[in-house]
Amino acid sequence: MAITRKKTVTTAEDFIAGAPDAKPAKDVPAKAIKTLGRKSIITLSIDPDLLARLDAWAKVRGISRAAAVSLAVSNLE
């Protein structure tokens, strides 16, 4: 993990605009999706008990957690 310098906030508007849930300004392009090869990199929040079930399910099948999530999502209608 890289060490980054704290951003200097000069106004209340800058502070609000810097919040994680702030609405993007109309003239700012949408956030780019990070990719690794053909795959998109995402962050997912999940209940610990559900994660344990997912890991157990994947282990029985000999697949990774990411593969289990991909398989589950590919089966959505």
Using DSSP's 3-state secondary structure scheme, residue 35 falls into strand
Please provide the distance, in angstroms rounded to a whole number, between the alpha carbons at the two ends of the chain. 37
Residues 6+ apart with CB under 8 A from 12: none
- What local confidence, expressed as pLDDT, does residue 25 receive? 66
Q: Is residue 48 part of a domain?
A: yes
Quote the domain boundaries for residue 65. Answer: 32-77
Could you read off the pLDDT tens digit of each residue along the chain, which spans 77 residues? Answer: 677 777 676 788 877 777 777 776 666 566 778 888 998 888 889 999 999 999 999 999 999 999 999 999 999 98
Q: Is residue 18 part of a domain?
A: no
Give the count of domains, the chain.
1
Q: Is residue 27 part of a domain?
A: no
Q: Is residue 43 part of a domain?
A: yes
- What local confidence, expressed as pLDDT, does residue 33 receive? 82
- What local confidence, expressed as pLDDT, does residue 30 receive? 66
Q: Is residue 16 part of a domain?
A: no
Q: Is residue 23 part of a domain?
A: no
